[in-house]
Amino acid sequence: MADGNPTLGSLATTVPVQAVLFDIDGTLCDSDPLHHVAFQELLLEIGYNNGVPIDDEFFIKNIAGRSDVEAAQNLFPDWDLEKGLKFLEDKEAKYRSLAKERLEPVKGLGKVVQWVKDHGYKRAAVTNAPRINAELMISLLGLSDFFQAVIVGDECEQPKPAPYPYLKAIKELQVSAEHTFIFEDSPSGIRAGVAAGMPVVAVATRNPEKSLLEAGASLLIKDYEDPKLWAALEEIDREEAKLKKAGA
């Protein structure tokens, strides 16, 4: 994987595939810009950083993909945690109002959703977002009937980057890690998936590609129309066809 071109076989090792898991923020929808705007506006209101708006680099380093506790501690190391979490709650409310107007799916999402449906694989959304946000985004994207489970990090023993949310997902779906793969967009989420024993496809919507590969991604794609993804999915189809033929 050192050359940045992971092998296609890493997804095909999950054959026969039982389930596909998806993160939400940055994976189903390019929501980070909306989160960034929400943070920017509320931080400016309290005079954070001497009134200088936070930039993309700060957002990626301290906030993107983090649990609320981690983000609050990164933003407000001198604050009481409860106060920091209250700020995060206000930010989430601001984000939801923005999302209702401006949320867009990642390019090609409908195509991969149809592929999963056509194959009859089980599917779950696994996120560190609050449940109210997760369900809103899924609804806005028209995927409420697609997901059979929605797993929220704060409702698990620990959120991502710990493996518990992904382990809970496969338990709820009654599938095994060996026959499941994941779509993620953040180093934190990728580490969670790898720790849970599943290959992870990294969607490079916002985070630096190097950080996604270093976190252990099996395949790096630009979006769901990336030819590299479809080559990997075709490899799965070929391997599953061989299995069926052998079992016939």
Catalytically annotated residue among 3, 23, 154, 223: 23
Q: Which CA distances in Å does 206 have to 27, 118, 202, 203, 223?
A: 10, 29, 11, 9, 11
Give dist(CA 124, CA 133) in Å, integer: 15
Active site residue 118: no
Q: Which CA distances in Å does 105 have to 108, 141, 189?
A: 8, 7, 19
Cα dihedral 193, 195, 199, 200 sign: positive
Give dist(CA 108, CA 230) in Å, integer: 11
Active site residue 25: yes
Catalytically annotated residue among 25, 32, 68, 185: 25
Count CB-CB contacts under 10 A for residue 18.
19
> Would you name the residues annotated as active-site residues?
23, 25
